[in-house]
Amino acid sequence: MKILQINTSARSNGSESTRLADLIVEGFATKNPAAVVMRHDLASKPLLLLDESTLNALHTPAEQRTPEQAARVAVDNALIAELQAADMVVIGAPMYNFSVTVQLKSWFDAIARAQVTFRYTESGPEGLLTGKKVYVALTRGGLHQNAPTDTQVPYLKTMLGFLGMTDVQFVYAEGLGLGPEAVLKARASAEAQIDAILATQ
């Protein structure tokens, strides 16, 4: 089993979404001692943004790219290759201002590539990253689950599904900004959700 963990908090230390993602990964690794775990902390090692120079590099035929363009495309190629090789993806996803973090958006921008991770067909778009299980640890300061203010889950379902990853399960830790008692309640709830997931494996 190859597990890819993507931590998308802006904090490398003290992130609740990273802590929960760690628990998920550690639980599966314990059950699968031969598992190989690949981790990205996008706070300590931010991804390059999808800017004009990147777009120019991506739209330049490989044999015509400058050394700088080739090096830029190679960064995203490596991210795509490790995702293609993964059997399981675990994402720590805090809510910032009712949305995903710029770190997570940058990861999606890096891995979404036509004819590589998705393609357009006569019957519509087809995701090419199939056969993967995805777990997303969602952390929120308020209470948003199943409410109009939860823009994360629809976006993540759309984005992951577009790339072919339709087997997605969410773990919720909500109310983390509502005081110490709410924090304890949110953590206990999220950890119980993780225990339930691992119990079925």
Any idea what DSSP says for residue 14?
S
Q: Write a three-state SS string for 139-189.
A: ECCCCCCCCCCCCHHHHHHHHHHHCCCCEEEEEEECCCCCCHHHHHHHHHH
Query: Is 8 within 8 Å of 107 (Cβ atoms)?
Result: yes
Query: Is 110 within 8 Å of 47 (Cβ atoms)?
Result: yes
Res. 201: pLDDT tops 90: no
pLDDT above 70 as % of the chain: 100
Fold of the domain built from segment(s) 2-199: Rossmann fold (3.40.50)
- For residues 81-98, average pLDDT: 97
pLDDT in tens, 101-160: 999 999 999 999 999 999 999 999 999 999 999 999 999 999 999 999 999 999 999 999
Res. 98: pLDDT tops 90: yes
Measured between alpha carbons, how far is 142 from 3 in angstroms, rounded to an integer? 30
Domain ranges of the chain: 2-199
pTM above 0.85, yes or no: yes
